[in-house]
Amino acid sequence: MSSHENAPRSKVTLHMVASLDGFIARKDNSVSWLEDNGSVYEAGVSISEEEVAAFIKAIDCYVLGSRTYEHALQLGWPYGDTPTVVVTGRKLISTKKGVEFHSGDLKTLLEEKLTPRYRNIWLVGGAMLSQRFLELGLVDEIKLTVAPVLLGDGLRLFGGSPAEQRWNLKNVVAYKNGFVELSYSASTV
Ligand SMILES: NC(=O)c1ccc[n+]([C@@H]2O[C@H](COP(=O)([O-])OP(=O)(O)OC[C@H]3O[C@@H](n4cnc5c(N)ncnc54)[C@H](OP(=O)(O)O)[C@@H]3O)[C@@H](O)[C@H]2O)c1
């Protein structure tokens, strides 16, 4: 058996933040709804900036759709120098260190480009790309953060839903600011 066969398998985590009524973006793309609204859930936990930084440091690679990429550039680029793959059929120019573009088959992207290089792979949206990954069965874990707000309108989480899929709840974390993080795995183990 080669050392590669002993290596832990790569994992794809889909992470998104949704409103209580299931939207991930406002129509005008404004993001104020993601900020704290001042509510305090006493039984919730809070995490320090150091814990957040350690968590982010453990992410080996981000994958995002081109619309999420363009919005992230406008917002000030939250992904630092962490390797980032943007899925697009267009010829886009990279203005950020660590960004590369992929067009074409997503299974090939995962098997040939990402899995050999990265273990902790984070798919961070948007709705269209996440839906494609889910349809193809390429997601191992869903981390859904629910924000304490109703938006009424906007871009639907996962867009037009894929066929029914059963997921297994693995963890729930309620934060002091009223946000709740739900973690689901595709497998029962
Ligand atoms: N709340 C959250 O957690 C969260 C997370 C992420 C994003 N968002 C928001 O969601 C919005 C963007 O989401 P979205 O659903 O409109 O777009 P998206 O998924 O970010 O990007 C869609 C684009 O990705 C490319 N693409 C997708 N699947 C592809 C495939 N199989 N092969 C090749 N290219 C593919 C296409 O790009 P080309 O047209 O370039 O070919 C497509 O137009 C933004 O407002 C963003 O801020 C919110």
Tens digits of per-residue pLDDT, 157-177? 987 766 889 999 999 999 999
Worst-scoring range by mean pLDDT, 21-25, 30-34, 184-188? 184-188
Per-residue pLDDT of 34-52, as tens digits, reads 998 898 999 999 999 999 9
Helix (H, G, I), strand (E, B) or coil at 128: helix
Per-residue pLDDT of 86-133, as tens digits, reads 999 999 988 899 999 999 899 999 999 999 999 999 999 999 999 999
Question: Which atom of ligand 1 lies nearest, measured to the CA of 159?
Answer: 15
Closest CA to 129 of 163, 162, 97: 162
Closest CA to 12 of 107, 115, 139: 139
Question: Which atom of ligand 1 lies nearest, measured to the CA of 68?
Answer: 20
Nearest-angstrom CA–CA distance, 111 and 9: 11
What pLDDT is stored for residue 5 in this prediction?
53
Distance 30 CA to ligand 1 centre (A): 16
Q: Decide whether any atom of ligand 1 lies within 6 Å of the 183 Cβ.
A: no
Distance 16 CA to ligand 1 centre (A): 12
For 3-12, what is the mean pLDDT? 69
What pLDDT is stored for residue 95 in this prediction?
86
Distance 125 CA to ligand 1 centre (A): 6
Q: Decide whether any atom of ligand 1 lies within 6 Å of the 102 Cβ.
A: no
Give the closest residue (by CA) to ligand 1 atom 25: 88
CB atoms within 10 A of CB 24: 23
Q: Decide whether any atom of ligand 1 lies within 6 Å of the 166 Cβ.
A: no
CB 158 within 8 A of CB 164: no
Q: How confident is the model at residue 3 (pLDDT cuts 50, 70, 90)?
A: very low
Question: Which atom of ligand 1 lies nearest, measured to the CA of 92?
Answer: 40
Query: Does residue 2 carry a pLDDT above 70?
Result: no
Worst-scoring range by mean pLDDT, 10-24, 85-99, 150-164? 150-164
Worst-scoring range by mean pLDDT, 14-23, 74-83, 97-106, 158-167? 158-167
Q: Decide whether any atom of ligand 1 lies within 6 Å of the 115 Cβ.
A: no
Predicted structure pTM score: 0.94
Count of residues for the chain?
A: 189
Nearest-angstrom CA–CA distance, 68 and 92: 13
What pLDDT is stored for residue 1 in this prediction?
40
Q: Decide whether any atom of ligand 1 lies within 6 Å of the 25 Cβ.
A: yes
* Percentage of residues in the chain having pLDDT higher than 90: 86
Q: Mind giving me the DSSP string for 136-169?
A: TT--SEEEEEEES---SSSEETTSS--S----EE
Distance 10 CA to ligand 1 centre (A): 23
What pLDDT is stored for residue 9 in this prediction?
83
